[in-house]
Amino acid sequence: MTSIQELPNELLEKIFYEADVQNTTRSQQVSKQFHDVIVVSALIQYKIALINEGFEDRTHSPEGRSIGERLDSLRSRRSAWRMLQPTARRKITIPRYSLHLETRSHFAWADGLNAKQLHVLQIPSVYRGLQEKEWVVKLPGVRLVDERFAAMEPDEDLLAIDTNSDEQWFISLRSLTTGEDHPDARIPELPPIVIGHLGGLGRLSVSGNYLALDRFEDRGDYRYLHIYNWKTGELLFLCDGQYEPFELIDQYVLIAHSSVDGEFTVVSVIDLPTLSPILDPNQYTIGWETGYTEYERIALAQYCLPTNSGSTHRIHVASHPRPPKSRAPTTPIFYPDPLCYQDYRIVIIEMSEHSLVVPWSSILRIICSRDALGATLAQCLNWEELAPEGFRVMPRNDETPLPSVKGVSALNMRRGEAGPLDVRLYDHDSLKSFVRRMEKAVFDESDFEYEVLMLGDDGVVLGQVPKAQDYEAECEYHILSF
């Protein structure tokens, strides 16, 4: 019988290419022959590099790059990130406090307070063959005040923006490319919301088909959370009471709130498609009358956070906000792999004492195995006993907030090659070090404050703000592309 070592190298290459990456990598240690076959093969090395970088190959590249050229592009891209050597740099100067929005692939800005048009920039990548695109969205009759009043989702071609009058909020659903009414929205504006006494918008956010609006009255004494399916225009969730930190993740919303007895902080995971539309705007899903007991009825799962965590300040998602939707002809030669998104997304729960870093895939796995754990919908899972795989606690330091990561650049910040559930994908120390190096490389020693606003798929957005509290001052934003 012929042993595997006696097989020709061409056949061994095919075997190792079809095997999973972990087994292929381990096989290098079996023999010098296996090592040489794996290391020399551009096809195998390209597959390994794609997985390590969180990308998927576009089989038919419009540029006709060979496998070897694509592998070189991937390696050059990684090296450029590590060495902070961007291939392009763009500086945008706008009046201070003007609206600006960032996603993992786009940056948008207004020319000033109450501007009537929005500039949108698609961040380019030489290594991925992604061209820079810039366009202007004209928005007559809309006041572009600041980022609290707008949100964009390039994968859905959506710009959600407030067009409020003096008495009501109107959330208009526009195309990000044309500024016209969004073709997928059943109604061009969500139902109006009456502005209460000393009311305002706290936050507007979008994820997939869902839009969340956080508003307040009496300067924040009363908070309200509205969640819609923006495509149908239906209101699915309405909460009034104190501020509850929340985050949209695809079809789910995570909300941090007090337990019924007030002794713990609980994170409820709600599956939005399971909620019935709210027909009466005064019909609260969660309200002062129902209290927190209603969360037990509608939550897919609930988690009691560690008892020594303190109050919850914020929940947000690092790494990938959501999988890319489009694979149009403009898709670059390799692009973020949708199958990796569940594993590479990190949920960060910022609390008064420390922050909890949790892989989103771990939370999903616990949800799926809830029945096996003997938990019912009304039972709250204890965090200490059922800590998600990859869970980590980090001391909280308000002077060094967690950097915002919205794309596959997170994979460049880790130490070594991380597995899918490895929280080194969001290594705080590595990210802080990277941010400091980035800020030092971009900004001169001058009378300016600066911050990294976003680490995206192909670039970094940094903001430079004058120290003086001058509304007439200008602010510089630097977009570095890799």
**Can you tell me whether residue 79 is helix, strand or coil?**
helix
Euclidean distance between CA atoms 315 and 360, whole angstroms: 12
- Residue 428 token pair: 């705080």
User: Whose structure tokens read 């004492």?
Assistant: 353
The answer to whether the Cα torsion of 383, 384, 386, 387 is positive or negative is positive
- What's the pLDDT band for 462 if we cut at 50, 70, 90? confident
User: What topology is assigned to 98-398 in CATH?
Assistant: Methylamine Dehydrogenase; Chain H (2.130.10)
- What's the pLDDT band for 189 if we cut at 50, 70, 90? very high
Indicate the domain borders of the chain. Answer: 4-76, 98-398
Of residues 353 and 99, the one with the higher pLDDT is 99
pLDDT (mean) for 383-393: 58
pTM of the shown model: 0.85
DSSP structural state of residue 125:
B
User: Whose structure tokens read 């569940």?
Assistant: 342
- What's the pLDDT band for 249 if we cut at 50, 70, 90? confident
User: Whose structure tokens read 């796995």?
Assistant: 365
pLDDT (mean) for 387-395: 61
Note the pLDDT of residue 136: 95
pLDDT, one tens digit per residue, over 310-348 is 565 666 665 544 555 554 445 677 777 666 655 566 677
- What's the pLDDT band for 305 if we cut at 50, 70, 90? confident
Residue 421 confidence (pLDDT) above 60: no
Q: What is the DSSP string of 127-190?
A: TTTBPPEEEEEE-TT--B--GGGEEEEGGGTEEEEE---SSEE-EEEEETTT-SBPTT-SSSBP
pLDDT, one tens digit per residue, over 103-145 is 888 999 998 877 889 999 999 998 888 889 999 999 887 777 7
Residue 222 confidence (pLDDT) above 70: yes
DSSP structural state of residue 421:
T
Q: What does the buried/exposed string (b/e) look like for 121-138 if buried means 16 or more CB atoms within 10 Å of the residue's CB?
A: bbbbbbbbbbeeeeeebe
pLDDT, one tens digit per residue, over 42-53 is 888 998 888 877
pLDDT, one tens digit per residue, over 54-99 is 788 876 555 577 888 889 998 898 888 888 888 998 999 888 778 8
